[in-house]
Chains A and B, each alone.
Chain A
Amino acid sequence: MTTYIYAFLFCGFICMIAQIILDNTKLTPGHVTSLFVVIGAFLDLAGIYDKLVLYCGAGALIPITSFGHLLIHGAMDLATENGVMGLALGIFDLTSAGISVAVVCAFILALIFKPKH
């Protein structure tokens, strides 16, 4: 049960920070998204993000910060096997499913639908 509460609080906290940034700076949603990916990556590098996932579950896996966390995870995994080349090989290892689905879905939807307004 506590996971549900932590998930709600953590994910809400991330969204709140994003809203504060959007309302008070000239940064666009694109900037904020990129910023969160980088923050997620650094948190993972410091070993913090895995703990957040443990306590908050989907609350930490769903927001975009998780993308940064997965980038580092994939890169580090293959780096331990293949050395420096592994960094480049592994960076999109764990996120490739997400990226592929996004590309395929976008393609199919663009075929079916026409923009309206």
Chain B
Amino acid sequence: MTSKFNNVYIGNTYTIASVYEKDGPISDYFNSVYDKDLYYGMDTFEKAEEMMLHDSIEKLIDNSKMKDSDINYIISGDLENQIAASDYAMRDFDIPFLGIFNACATFGEGILIGANFIEGKRANNIIVSTSSHNMVAEKQFRNPTEYGAPKKKTTTFTSTGAASILLTNKKNKIKITSTTAGRVQDKGITDVNNMGAVMAIAAADTIERHLKNLKIKPNYYDLILTGDLGYYGKNILIDYLRTKDIDISKNYDDCGLILYDRNKQEVFAGASGPVSSALVLCSYILKEMERGKYRKVLLVPTGAIFSPTRVFQKDSIPSIAHAISFEVNE
């Protein structure tokens, strides 16, 4: 399902990053970086994630010179069980809250829902936010300390930080022109250390349908950007789409490879986590769009929506990807 929009604009964004993101290539673009440790001044990693998310929303509202009552909804989700970071961060806001989960595609899902609310004139201002925390995700399911062995090179590295974006019906420089909601894909892959391969299929399906529904070619966009496929997933996607006669090799990149420098940092296949695509979009991409480097960008956040319990029961890993088209307002 592809929807077109005429009245949805990006109001403002706020990004908070942490230690590892600071050493990455786009660290100058973040609004704030906490690089002392991964605790963000809290006692636990979970509280650190909650506070980062909280602060990104609070600063976004302040910077936009708004009050809580000006925001109609906050749509937020994260990787913690029961999306706890979002649930707990929202205690301090007098704003209706919609909690969502699509793993690392959560931010894309949020923007898709928010854009539809605004286009349908059911809301004027909506904040979409997400967060992830390396240690929270590692502890919970990715790679517990007890694993006790070197990680595989196809694994990805969960990014730490929070990002919030304000969607509004007030005219602004960048607008959202269309979205394509993803379909759940599952090719029977069971390897939790190779999420890039799992999610590439979902990205391919969504990109293919997006281009077909809008009757455009990949070169319509200055940049097509997937969420967190990493190095191996990126190459799988390029190869797979080539079999469908879609060539994206010239204007395609992956947020997981933009957020970190794989050659200098020990991040294996690249960055992952819901905040990796959100950080790249809300800092680097939107700023470069304002400066004129890109005019049309298609963001395709990808998520492996799996349950560790089901994987232990030898079930496979489903994945999803949503496409959102950003264009500079002429």
Contacts and interface: CB of A to CB of B under 8 A. Distances in A.
B190 A117 contact: no
Interface stretch (A21-29, A83-91, A93-101): A21-29
A116 to B, nearest CB: 7
A116 B38 contact: yes
Contact of B191 (A26, A29, A117): A26
B38 A29 contact: no
B134 interface: yes
B190 A29 contact: no
B17 interface: no
A69 to B, nearest CB: 21
Contacts of B92: none
A116 B190 CA distance: 30
Interface string B135-165: 1000000000111110000000000000000
Interface in A15-39: 22, 26, 28-30
Contacts, number: 20
B135 A115 contact: yes
B245 interface: no
A97 to B, nearest CB: 21
B330 interface: no
B134 A29 contact: no
B19 interface: yes
Contacts of B149: 22, 28-29
A114 to B, nearest CB: 8
A117 B191 CA distance: 24
A17 to B, nearest CB: 14
Interface residues of A, number: 8
Contacts of A26: 190-191
Contacts of B190: 26
A28 B134 contact: no
Interface in B33-49: 37-38, 45
Contacts of B135: 115, 117
Nearest to A22: B149
A29 B19 contact: no
Contacts of B19: 117
B38 A117 contact: yes
Interface string B38-77: 1000000100000000000000000000000000000000
Contacts of A115: 45, 135, 145
Contacts of A22: 149
B37 A116 contact: yes
A28 B38 CA distance: 27
Interface string A98-117: 00000000000000000111
Contact of B147 (A29, A116, A117): A29
A28 B149 CA distance: 9
A28 B193 CA distance: 11
Contacts of A116: 37-38
6 contacts: A26-B190, A28-B147, A28-B149, A29-B147, A117-B37, A117-B38
Interface of B: 19, 37-38, 45, 134-135, 145-149, 190-191
Given A30-B147, A117-B135, 7 more contacts: A26-B190, A26-B191, A29-B147, A29-B149, A30-B146, A117-B37, A117-B38
